[in-house]
Structure 1
Amino acid sequence: MTTYKLGVLYGDGIGPEIVQSTVDVLQAAVERAEGISFEFVELPMGWSGINEYGDPVPALTKEALETCHGWIMGPHDSAAYPLEHKAKRNPSGELRHHFDLYANIRPSKTIAGIKSMVGQADLVIFRENTEGFYPDRNMYAGSGEFMVNPETALVVGVFTKKAAERIAHAAFRMALQRRKKVAIVHKANVIKLGYGLFLETCREVGKQYPAVEVEDYHIDAMTAHLVRRAKDFDVIVTTNMFGDILSDLAGELVGSLGLAPSINTNDNQAMAQAAHGSAPDIAGKNMANPVGEMLSAVMLLDWLASRHQDESLQQLARTVETAIMRTIEAGICTRDLGGTATTTEFTKAIAERL
């Protein structure tokens, strides 16, 4: 029996509801599997961390996550935190920075039963997760933005060859398993040194993968291409801010941001985290859509299966994914997708299909 230790961070807003649904489905699935078990470790994050420990990401949470194979993270409502906590990195940024989770992987794929604005599409965005123009996590110490006077703000973007190389390798490795196409997205025509370094480094890495077709696009053009011909793209690799924007666009184009999953990885650990926010306006109403969080957990299972060469875990991932998709295809879904199911009813329907 192989036991995988998974951290569980419920978070804020709808987080406790969608994370609990995800844990319930994983537990229902693993009870029917052979040779695998999960140890779920519940840890404070967000308001629970503030209320109990005075910190949205307490030290004990980070220490416990060090011992986990991976973890499931709910959304956070950092915009509502007290001022002293708003000045810090938000929980997601803090964990990405602390664990050097350099790759944010966000797939966008059409789902049977869900209306897509772009027809059939199946792409994955690899977002560099540690630098670029995100000033809360691109510095060893301090923040990458400051004001020289009350009317002038400066923001420092950081671009390193090391960061570009490792996200590029991750993207090209994925492309080899898919349709063998990589699109590099940048703005090297204007930000010539920063994005030029990113572009050329990705091109250099691409030469090590001769089976993969490589092309590149300016970020503004890419937004138009995604709307017009999303089906043509396979793997997209880009920087932190551009990846954040493109993945939200791609998620909405294929159905809903509420369906959009992601994982953050550092090659040794992975964090499952839906791409959407905490939706405090519907928190506690049993109407939240847990699909993004559930599919993020499926990605986590796939990542763990690959890392630990565990075929049983990979089969479990397919079982869970199939149950989710067939439930949606049968017309059982939450209100945001045009259905009538509550969060718990939807979760129960998936568990029954397992």
Structure 2
Amino acid sequence: MKAVTLAARDDNQSDIWHPLHIKELPKPSLDEVSSKTHAIVRIDAAALNHRDIFIRQELYPGWKVGAVLGADGVGHVIEGPAEWKDKRVLIAPMDGWKDDPRGPNGPKRFGTRGGSEPMTKDGTLSEYVRCPVEHLELCPSFLSTEEAAALPLAGLTAYRALFVKCQPQKGWNLLVTGVGGGVAMMAVQFAVAAGLNVWVTSGREDKITKAVSIGARGGVSYKRDDWHRQLKSLLPKERPYLDAVIDSAGGDLVERLCPTMRTGGVISCYGQTTLQPLKLTMVAVLKNIEVKGSTMGSSKDFRDMVRFVDEKRLKPVVSHIVDGLDRVEEAFEIMQKSDQMGKIVVRISSKL
């Protein structure tokens, strides 16, 4: 089978950037015992995440040369237990986290699918994946192949950051930073569906416009020095504060937003794309603002997320579609330029 793997880089390169290899690997198989607990999934489509970029830059823990990349995937079960045969399924983007809302609780070591330890052979940028049936969820029937491929990791990360960490209530004011990426766009959709008032930040007006088209009430450009003051002016007079923030940037966010947040407000942080840590100020401490880290989610969160998407009939925003594993570098180029508004999907199966 074909698979996208991480190749060794040239040590003489000034920038750290690993090339990719499209390799022919043995197709995974099942024996009599594993066929009762595992499945072989033919991957119809996969999607990129920023972690795939970070892996190529050696910025993601556990990266490994030779690993198969890709955490998002949708496909059809071709081998495994009879009740799963021929089903269209979403593949969980992680392992080793059952149901504890605080963090991974095993029994196996927690890992993210594809590219890094301990799931280096399990990436979805391949024609077939072998995985335990406990990693599978039936794909909502109304999603296209591309929409389904865009859902797993972004949906899970957004769901946990919003519902598990923020514990929102209908009518809350929520800020989602850095809208345009897959997680931020899903967070907007989830929050709007739950009855929250959502504002966004972005570096591009067209991304703010896209967020408004899926339900956000407005947004500001973080390129403005006074973006936090401009945001405050947009909030309704009857509720002139933020109840919660979902952030992926880090940096001086707490200091800038502290005056705009309610006492006891929550900042749920799932990334630090600025490579600058969030700074918890004494003013924020006195205001009882909670800063919570949020990493992906548990198997329970994944099931709950898929159920929520199904009930609300939410469709992930797909920005770009690339046909075939041989063109995967095109998908990476789009993500590197930050040109996407939503997820970047790679079609894989020729049987679509």
When normalised by structure 1's length, the TM-score is 0.30
More strand by share: 2
| More contact order relative to length (CA 8 Å, sep ≥ 6) | 1
More helix by share: 1
When normalised by structure 2's length, the TM-score is 0.30
